[in-house]
């Protein structure tokens, strides 16, 4: 089917929303705003993401010493704290006083663990491979596939073992081993986009769990590709107007759409 006769173009963020809850895709595609609360925990994640962008520089110039690594990370965090309000003025216009300080303190408390894990990674994988996996060759490139009817932006592309592969920055929790299923779907969708854009197979990708200083390599399997393609088709249907069944999701109590999200789809006509 030609791309222009298909459903509305979908983005990787739609796929992530679908994995969260299919109905959220429906609400967002109909103009409802997903407004996550700007609290200390969200600001902490934003700070840690900014901090992680400095990991390659820090790792490059630091001797393998926990103290110097911690000092460099602290100074980069201070800088991130100064820069963040300038980078996100709209978000900062609606935060309460003291929240940034609280977020800064929470992020600072993570530095010893980040430093210890970065050092462990350096010892285990070696400085050059670690730097290759951390250092962007492109930051937030826009990727588009007309064939997949999909667009997306990886946090960065890194050149590892002679190949450009996607890497995503995740400031949330980290599983004991491997990556979360949703992160696997996230990097797989970006690998498919990268293949569509530049050709050749993208056999792996990286997930950076930046709150812990951990870097995980993900081998992209055929079953991951199949799952992403399946989700793409479901998201297309939802964006074209199909309302998925409401399931009792663990996110419902904190969901922005809970007031409008009713079990009986016929009642939805009240809102649309």
Binding site for ligand SF4 (CB under 6 A): 21, 23-24, 27, 246, 249, 251-252, 255, 257-258, 261
Residue 256 C-beta: closest distance to ligand SF4, Å? 7
Cβ closest to ligand SF4, residue 126 vs residue 241: 241
For residues 223 and 162, what is the distance between their CA atoms, to the nearest angstrom?
A: 25
- Indicate if the alpha-carbon torsion angle 166, 171, 175, 181 is positive or negative: negative
Residue 13 C-beta: closest distance to ligand SF4, Å? 15
For residues 263 and 43, what is the distance between their CA atoms, to the nearest angstrom?
A: 33
Report helix, strand or coil for 11: strand
Compute CA 54 distance to the chain's CA centroid, rounded to the nearest angstrom: 17
**Which of 195, 207, 148, 211 is CA-nearest to residue 12?**
148
Helical axes 127-134 vs 111-125, angle rounded to 10°: 120
Cβ closest to ligand SF4, residue 28 vs residue 174: 28
Residue 151 C-beta: closest distance to ligand SF4, Å? 23
Cβ closest to ligand SF4, residue 132 vs residue 243: 243
Residue 46 C-beta: closest distance to ligand SF4, Å? 23
For residues 164 and 147, what is the distance between their CA atoms, to the nearest angstrom?
A: 21
For residues 219 and 272, what is the distance between their CA atoms, to the nearest angstrom?
A: 42
**Which of 171, 159, 162 is CA-nearest to residue 53?**
171
Residue 177 C-beta: closest distance to ligand SF4, Å? 28
Cβ closest to ligand SF4, residue 126 vs residue 265: 265
Residue 245 C-beta: closest distance to ligand SF4, Å? 9
Spell out a b/e string for 225-250, using b for 16 or more CB atoms within 10 Å of the CB, else e.
Answer: eebbeebbebbbebbeeebbebeeee
Residue matched to tokens 């791309």: 3
Cα angle 242, 36, 170; round to 5:
95
Cβ closest to ligand SF4, residue 21 vs residue 48: 21
Cβ closest to ligand SF4, residue 74 vs residue 249: 249
Residue 20 C-beta: closest distance to ligand SF4, Å? 7
Cβ closest to ligand SF4, residue 103 vs residue 231: 231
Report helix, strand or coil for 58: helix
Cβ closest to ligand SF4, residue 64 vs residue 262: 262
Residue 26 C-beta: closest distance to ligand SF4, Å? 8
């Amino acid at each position: 089917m030609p791309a222009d006769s298909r459903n509305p173009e979908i983005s990787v963020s739609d796929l992530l929303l679908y994995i969260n809850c299919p109905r959220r895709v429906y609400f967002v595609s109909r103009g409802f705003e997903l407004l996550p609360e700007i609290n200390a925990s969200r600001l902490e994640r934003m700070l840690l993401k900014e901090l992680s962008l400095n990991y390659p520089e820090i790792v490059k110039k630091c001797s393998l010493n926990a103290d110097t690594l911690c000092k460099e990370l602290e100074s980069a965090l201070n800088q991130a704290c100064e820069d963040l309000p300038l980078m996100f003025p709209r978000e900062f216009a609606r935060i309460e006083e003291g929240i940034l300080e609280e977020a800064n303190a929470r992020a600072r408390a993570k530095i010893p663990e980040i430093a210890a894990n970065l050092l462990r990674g350096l010892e285990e994988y070696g400085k050059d491979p670690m730097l290759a996996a951390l250092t962007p060759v492109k930051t937030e490139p826009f990727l588009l596939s007309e064939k997949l009817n999909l667009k997306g932006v990886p946090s960065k592309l890194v050149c590892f073992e002679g190949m450009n592969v996607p890497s995503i920055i995740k400031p949330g929790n980290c599983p004991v081993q491997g990556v979360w299923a949703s992160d696997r779907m996230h990097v797989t969708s970006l690998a498919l986009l990268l293949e569509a854009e530049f050709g050749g197979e993208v056999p792996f990708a990286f997930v950076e769990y930046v709150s812990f200083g951990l870097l995980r390599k993900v081998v992209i399997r055929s079953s991951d590709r199949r799952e992403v393609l399946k989700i793409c088709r479901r998201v297309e249907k939802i964006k074209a107007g199909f309302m998925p069944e409401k399931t009792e999701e663990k996110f419902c109590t904190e969901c922005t759409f809970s007031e409008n999200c009713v079990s009986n789809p016929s009642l939805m006509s009240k809102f649309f």
